[in-house]
Amino acid sequence: MQTIIYILPELFLSLSIMTLLIVGVFVKNSFKIINSLTILCLIFAVALVLNQPQETTKIFNNSYLIDKFSMFMKILILVFTLFILTISRDYVKKNDIDKMEYPIIIISSTLGMLLMVSSYDLIVFYLGLELQSLCLYILASFKREDEKSTEAGLKYFVLSALASGLLLYGCSLIYGFTGSTNFEVISNNLDSSNKASIFGIVFIIVGLAFKISAVPFHMWTPDVYEGSPTSVTSFFALIPKIAALAVFIRFMYVPFINVIDQWQTIIIFLSIASMILGAVAAIGQNNIKRLMAYSSIGHMGYALAGLATGSNSGVQGTIIYLTIYLVMNLGAFGCIFMMKRENIYYENINDLSGLSKNHPMLALSFLIILFSLAGIPPLAGFFAKFYIFMAVIENKMYTLAIIGLVTTVISAFYYLRIIKIIYFDKPKKPFEETYDWGLKGPLILSSILTLMYFIYPSSLIDIISSILIY
């Protein structure tokens, strides 16, 4: 019974999933009420996570770890899921995907991610991963009459199942050569003299890289982002990245820390390739969702650069980067949800032309967020990149730093192109005004946070520096 308090958030979420299902069956046209109840459940879950004991604890035979790192990641996951639900509420209603299962599947995948983040054992990790990816397959093909959405769902399902297979193969190799599925035992038994276990590590990295869509395992990202409904795309771009990156950090720094010289080069390669592809491939895109996909690939490259250092400052840089990335992307998707005329949502970059004449405030917040994504000081995005590059240079990885800086400059081009379209092109018909505070609120919050971050940067750094991975 003692352990109940440590799994209270997960327990609460699973019970609320079941309760919401029953409510959804018995109440007619229940999307609205289920959506609100889901948001309420997420708020409660955040409170439960905050209320957990602060000390590091392992439960269930050391297979489940609660520490500050996992708690921080859980809060990120829950809070941003909440925001995604509020900003996409109107979109979901207008696009006929307002079924009561939609929010339920979203919190089910959130539950899977909470399990992933806390896992300290290969089996728990894999089950959590499967729970979240199963939900993501369903979400991607949620608009089932739409050809593109079905295609996205099927594509994601096939490729992700393949990645899961590779990951499982890696897990079985690791288990075979270390004799345990527990992270701590694996860490003790793993040494670089054993070449076969390196295979296992590589396979696990491949699986994880697929989940955060790092190059060369990124092929699915643009198609899935473009094909799925925008509300789902915004979920895809934010939430699974948190969980996958958290697990990535956990894997590299707990079980595999002794073989760092084996995996470091792999991560550096993934990072460089993602940064370059993210910067170059996004240039020719006209669909804003595709552009966000390539931009997220690039951003994951920077996050991996911090991870590749193998130092504590690097990991802290990665976590800060992730947090700021989430805030910026929330804003960016908020702006995309604003592109609506007569109940039709527009996705082309050219639809934005002359936005500044019709909607000066929306254009301004888009400007702030895009500048921040490009990494221009003094906005938050600049600081995120700054911490990463500081850590990289501290560890004398100059090639990585130089390539990172060059790709930052290249990627600034396509962000600036959107700004040029917004501010200097001929105005089109104005978009509809929205009075939905669920959409406006997070957008304003995100813009203000990105703009004002430089005033008090230590607020975030203090929290994150108290998180020790190992």
Partner 1 sequence: MLAHTLLFYFFSTVAVFSSLMVILSRNTVYSVFFLILVFVSISILFIMIGAEFLGMVMLIVYVGAVAVLFLFVVMMLNVAEKKNQKIVNKGLINNISVGSIVGLIIFFELLVVIGGWKYKGDFVSLSSISINDELTNTHALGNVLYTDYIHLFQIAGMILLVAMIGAITLTFKKRENIKKQNYFDQIGRDKESAVSLVEVESGKGVKIDD
Residues in contact with partner 1 by CB under 8 A are 7, 14, 17-18, 21, 60-61, 63-64, 99, 101, 104-105, 108, 111-112, 115, 123-124, 127-128, 130-131, 134-135, 137-138, 141-142, 144
Give the torsion through C-alpha atoms of 231, 415, 324, 95, to 10 deg. -10
Q: Minimum distance from CB of 90 to partner 1 (Å)? A: 21
Tell me whether residue 85 or residue 105 sits nearer to partner 1 (CB atom): 105
Please compute, for residue 470, the number of CA atoms within 13 A of its CA located in the half-sphere on the CB side: 19
CA–CA distance from 432 to each of 84, 374, 441 (Å)?
20, 28, 17
Is-contact 104 30, C-beta < 8 A?
A: no
Any residues with CB less than 8 A from the CB of 186 and at least 6 apart, and which?
122, 174, 178, 180, 255, 256
Q: Minimum distance from CB of 172 to partner 1 (Å)? A: 16
Q: Minimum distance from CB of 468 to partner 1 (Å)? A: 25
Is-contact 164 130, C-beta < 8 A?
A: yes
Tell me whether residue 112 or residue 334 sits nearer to partner 1 (CB atom): 112
Q: Minimum distance from CB of 149 to partner 1 (Å)? A: 11
In residues, how long is the chain?
470
Tell me whether residue 154 or residue 463 sits nearer to partner 1 (CB atom): 154
Tell me whether residue 99 or residue 428 sits nearer to partner 1 (CB atom): 99
> What does the alpha-carbon distance between residue 376 and residue 285 come to, in Å, rounded to a whole number?
22
Tell me whether residue 127 or residue 168 sits nearer to partner 1 (CB atom): 127
Tell me whether residue 138 or residue 451 sits nearer to partner 1 (CB atom): 138
Q: Minimum distance from CB of 29 to partner 1 (Å)? A: 11
Q: Minimum distance from CB of 349 to partner 1 (Å)? A: 31
